[in-house]
């Protein structure tokens, strides 16, 4: 079991310089999510002071702690696979939930958003990788959900696009094909279900090792951690 440690930045990583270098590579149409999971407040503030405002976390408790501690103009994205019983803790403030892969989860997000008198933006996660450990809808499952009467009743969520994680491999042609597949899924769903909904416009794909390929294949949101903050520190 890996136990992640909150620790101050002792590696002298040039966080501001890393952010500037990445943003210089990104078109203006692509948003950068700085993946700050396991990283201390000091590192996040270094990124914040360099102009970064969108941060991504994958643990609810950690996200809540950071939300309560850090500047209130930060846009917090939840990039993990959220547990339904913990949605209530992030519902009052989360800007975007990336990993929605079931109607059950959407219904819980909708219910918690209603309690907070707000609408929560969500991305549908699709399984595009060769690895079975990755989460996500198949196209057929998503079709079935979007056409269901239960989905039609949801008033406090907004499906803003799609998200996917490529296979962990050195074969970048394989990764490119998976990203291309996600872009095709996005185009298909936009035409069939969201043609009159301008909010359906996001494709979240690409991380530290493959974000340049993701951008070439149509990504609008990249999720980058180690290329900004350095490698995560953890113990076995």
Q: What number is the average pLDDT over the span 79-87? A: 93
Predicted confidence band of residue 235 (pLDDT cuts 50, 70, 90): very low
Length of the chain: 236
Write out pLDDT tens, residues 175-220: 999 999 999 999 999 999 999 999 999 999 999 999 999 999 999 9
CA angle 62, 68, 70 (to 5 degrees): 95
Predicted confidence band of residue 135 (pLDDT cuts 50, 70, 90): confident
Q: What number is the average pLDDT over the span 8-20? A: 82
Q: Do strands 54-57 and 157-164 pair parallel, antiparallel, or not at all (unpaired)?
A: unpaired
Write out pLDDT tens, residues 21-69: 999 999 999 999 999 999 999 999 999 999 999 999 999 999 999 999 9
Q: Which residues of 112-132 are buried (b: 16+ CB within 10 A; e: fewer)?
A: bbbeeeeebbbbbbbbbbeee
Distance CA 65, CA 58 (A): 13
Distance CA 77, CA 97 (A): 6
Above 50 in pLDDT, residue 2?
no
Element (H, E) at 212: helix 211-216
Question: What is the model's pTM?
Answer: 0.92
Residues of the domain holding 156: 3-235
Q: What number is the average pLDDT over the span 121-130? A: 95
- What does the DSSP 8-state code read for residue 147? T
Predicted confidence band of residue 132 (pLDDT cuts 50, 70, 90): confident
Write the CATH number for 59: 3.20.20.10
Number of domains in the chain: 1
Predicted confidence band of residue 6 (pLDDT cuts 50, 70, 90): very low
Above 50 in pLDDT, residue 4?
no
> Across all residues in the chain, what is the average pLDDT?
93
């Amino acid at each position: 079991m890996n136990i992640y440690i909150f620790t101050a930045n002792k590696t002298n990583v040039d966080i501001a310089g890393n952010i500037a270098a990445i943003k210089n590579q990104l078109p203006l149409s692509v948003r950068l999510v700085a993946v700050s999971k396991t990283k201390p407040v000091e590192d996040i503030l270094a990124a914040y002071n360099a102009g970064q405002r969108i941060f991504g976390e994958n643990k609810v408790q950690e996200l809540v702690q950071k939300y309560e501690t850090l500047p209130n103009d930060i846009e917090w994205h939840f990039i993990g696979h959220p547990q339904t019983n913990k949605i209530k803790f992030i519902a009052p403030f989360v800007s975007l939930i990336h990993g929605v892969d079931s109607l059950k989860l959407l219904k819980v997000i909708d219910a918690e958003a209603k309690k907070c008198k707000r609408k929560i933006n969500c991305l549908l996660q699709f399984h595009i990788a060769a690895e079975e450990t990755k989460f996500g809808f198949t196209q057929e499952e998503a079709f079935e959900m979007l056409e269901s009467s239960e989905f039609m009743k949801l008033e406090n969520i907004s499906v803003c696009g799609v998200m996917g994680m490529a296979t962990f491999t050195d074969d970048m042609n394989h990764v490119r094909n998976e990203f291309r597949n996600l872009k095709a899924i996005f185009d298909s769903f936009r035409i069939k279900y969201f043609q009159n909904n301008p909010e359906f416009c996001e494709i979240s794909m690409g991380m530290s090792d493959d974000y340049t390929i993701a951008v070439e294949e149509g990504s609008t949101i990249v999720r980058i951690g180690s290329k900004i903050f350095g490698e995560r520190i953890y113990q076995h």
